[in-house]
Amino acid sequence: MNKNKVNSILDLFEAEYGEAECTLDYVNPLHLMIATQLAAQCTDARVNMVTPALYARYSTAEDFMNADREVLEGLIRSTGFFRNKAKNIIGCCTMLVKDFNNEIPQNMNDLLKLPGVGRKTANLVLGDAFNIPGIVIDTHAGRLARRLGFTKETDPAKVEKDLMELIPEDKWIILGHWFVAHGRAVCNSRTPKCESCSFAPLCDYYKAI
């Protein structure tokens, strides 16, 4: 993909979605990390319904470390896969307390040591909590990156690598939020609204249909 097309797409994203933000509710890096883990195979809207009661009961890593597993599972049940998520949350917070002095690591290598934390969660926490550049690759990002012609890869790590080579670093954080906003509003998986999409003239997917 040539630079002119990349810049044109980024300009359109900025015009359409401006300062798009994370749609998960949180007040600190720990809460963002927990919410992102809960959002796996679940909508952000559902997670935002669950987290107020969750954070009222558990506000610190120590609170989560010492949580009763069954009580925690009950609080997060509606997010799906609640048993595995509860196990990972307790394990993650135990490691934060014992190995990281109750602090969320601010680097990818240490974040990936935490149970339940993959590159998507790590990049979201680094970007939104600490303003450290990274590109979040979720289902929206992967789908839009392929449709727009940024990549042909399906593996999230390879999609991330391709985007990092194409996109200026100062756009990495916001790009993930732009992908989510456009993926939800227009470019959904099954019935994208191509006829009304401002990206259509630049979109490989649209040209092929």
From the list 85, 120, 128, 162, the catalytic residue is 120
Alpha helices in 3-103 (DSSP H): 3-17, 29-38, 44-57, 61-65, 69-76, 82-99
158 catalytic residue (yes or no): no
Interior angle at CA 92, CA 89 and CA 96, nearest 5 = 135
- From CA 58, how far away is CA 65, in angstroms rounded? 9
From the list 85, 128, 138, 162, the catalytic residue is 138
120 catalytic residue (yes or no): yes
Nearest to 23 by CA among 42, 48, 40: 48
- For residue 90, the number of C-alpha atoms closer than 13 Å in the C-beta half-sphere is 14
Q: Catalytic residues, which ones?
A: 120, 138
